[in-house]
Chains A and B, each alone.
Chain A
Amino acid sequence: AQSVTQLGSHVSVSEGALVLLRCNYSSSVPPYLFWYVQYPNQGLQLLLKYTTGATLVKGINGFEAEFKKSETSFHLTKPSAHMSDAAEYFCAVDTGTASKLTFGTGTRLQVTL
């Protein structure tokens, strides 16, 4: 079975500050990992993904994430927050065998002036 834990249901940062959203997973097989962003009343947009290969993954809007197998983590970072980054962020895992995404509970990012 696979599961995802997102630490912190709500994170607040100042504009220009580092963004760090935490995601830990459990999986019995090598996972595929994803970060999605959801703006109010919209669908989910894929930010980035890890499947195989390079463990540091770059995505859209300046976000990146690093797959750390030893820590079973896939934390999302962005060096400098922008007001437009305020949204809900979901980490998700898929083992590739069940064709099912397992989502974390989400982290709401607030960006303040």
Chain B
Amino acid sequence: DTEVTQTPKHLVMGMTNKKSLKCEQHMGHRAMYWYKQKAKKPPELMFVYSYEKLSINESVPSRFSPECPNSSLLNLHLHALQPEDSALYLCASSQDPGREQFFGPGTRLTVL
């Protein structure tokens, strides 16, 4: 298996909802990443997990909460989001931190 999968593909949520995004890879990669991408912009790094531990948090608001239950799985828990949080959320993984990253197809999030 040489891909990163993300579910759901699309998500619409209200500002009071709690939802989660899921990312999975079975390539044995030891680093996993969350990015946020707005239209016509490059991806912006949110979090990095290295060997299942959070190594980088790019000053992301606490309404975004990452979780890495095991080496293959990465979650992003969402709570009390704002409409400006609407974006494409991309997950990526790499063999080790600093190596090339492989991206999933993304979750298109709309916050109403």
Most chain A beta-carbon neighbours within 10 Å: one of B31, B55, B56, B98: B98
B104 interface neighbour in A32, A43, A101, Cβ under 8 Å: A43
List residues of chain B with CB within 8 A of the CB of A64: none
List residues of chain B with CB within 8 A of the CB of A105: 41-42
A44 contacts B103, C-beta separation under 8 Å: yes
Q: Does B66 touch A at the CB level, under 8 Å?
A: no
From residue A99, how far is it (CB to closest CB) to chain B in Å?
Answer: 3
B100 interface neighbour in A34, A41, A43, A98, Cβ under 8 Å: A34
Tally of A-B Cβ pairs under 8 angstroms: 53
B98 interface neighbour in A42, A46, A97, Cβ under 8 Å: A97
B101 contacts A101, C-beta separation under 8 Å: yes
Complex CA distance for A106 and B56, rounded to whole angstroms: 24
A100 interface neighbour in B45, B88, B90, B100, Cβ under 8 Å: B45
CB-defined interface of B74-103 with A at 8 Å, one 1/0 digit per residue? 000000000000001010100001101111
B90 contacts A43, C-beta separation under 8 Å: yes
Q: Taking A45-B103, A99-B48, A106-B41 as given, write out 12 further A-B residue pairs in contact, using a Cβ cutoff of 8 Å, ordered by the A residue number.
A: A32-B98, A36-B103, A42-B105, A43-B90, A43-B106, A46-B103, A49-B100, A97-B98, A99-B56, A99-B98, A100-B45, A103-B42
